[in-house]
Structure 1
Amino acid sequence: MSLKDIQIQVDEWIKKYGVRYFSELTNMAQLTEEVGEVARIISRRYGDQSEKESDKNKDLGEELADVIFVVACLANQTGIDLENAFQKKLVATTRRDSERHVNNKKLK
């Protein structure tokens, strides 16, 4: 599934079930909340904190998908083509970092 497909599916879902998009500000707050849920799972499952019993059944994949859903909402309502934006970002990052990480002694 492409980023374009994700944006289309999210838009169709919003129109069918969501009534309308939340405001951009609300979606930004939602994105922050979803990223926080991802951070909580990773910090407790893979980091130094112990995992609470109530968090042990949390699905990291589901939480990452929540982040993608809200990002697609924000892109749709602000007229961003995520696939195009991602390709541009990959070109720019490659240009900037093509040798930086390869030559980083910390990563050897």
Structure 2
Amino acid sequence: MTLEEAQKEVDRWIKTYGVRYFSELTNMAVLTEEVGELARVMARKYGDQSFKQGEKDNLADEMADVLWVLICLANQTGVNLTEAFRQNLEKKTNRDKDRHKNNPKL
């Protein structure tokens, strides 16, 4: 599935099952919450914390939740994620094409 297809699919789902989008500010708060849930799994799986009894290693699901809300925000604000990602990749390439190769820490 492409980013464009994902944006259309989320929009279709919202209009079919979700009634309407939450407000942009609410979705920003929800995105922050979802990133926190992702961070919790990362801290337990790759960091120094351990899973509590009943907690699951649902890393992929938490990443998908973050992506879902990000796509909602893109749809609401008129951002074409395919184009935005292409431009962002180009920016990073131009800015960092030699930076990481020349970093002795890497």
TM-score range, shorter chain: over 0.9
Deviations 1:12-40 (A, max 9, x none): 00000000000000000000000000100
> Which runs of no fewer than 5 residues in structure 1 stay unpaired?
none
**Equivalent residue pairs, number:** 106
**Match in the other structure for 2:31:** 31
* Equivalence for 2:22: 22
Q: Is this contact kept in 1: 2:45–2:57, CA < 8 A?
A: no
With normalisation by structure 1, the TM-score equals: 0.95
Structure 2 Cα separation of the partners of residues 58 and 48 of structure 1: 15
Tell me the TM-score normalized by structure 2: 0.96
Give the structure 1 partner of residue 54 of structure 2: 54
Cα displacement (A) at 1:58: 3.4
* Structure richer in helix, relative to its length: 1
User: Which string of whole-angstrom CA distances, capped at 9 and with x for unpartnered residues, describes residues 56-97 of structure 1?
Assistant: x23100010001100000000000000000000000000001
Structure-1 separation of matches of 2:98 and 2:53: 43
* Runs of 4+, deviation exceeding 2 Å: none
Identity of aligned residues (%): 59
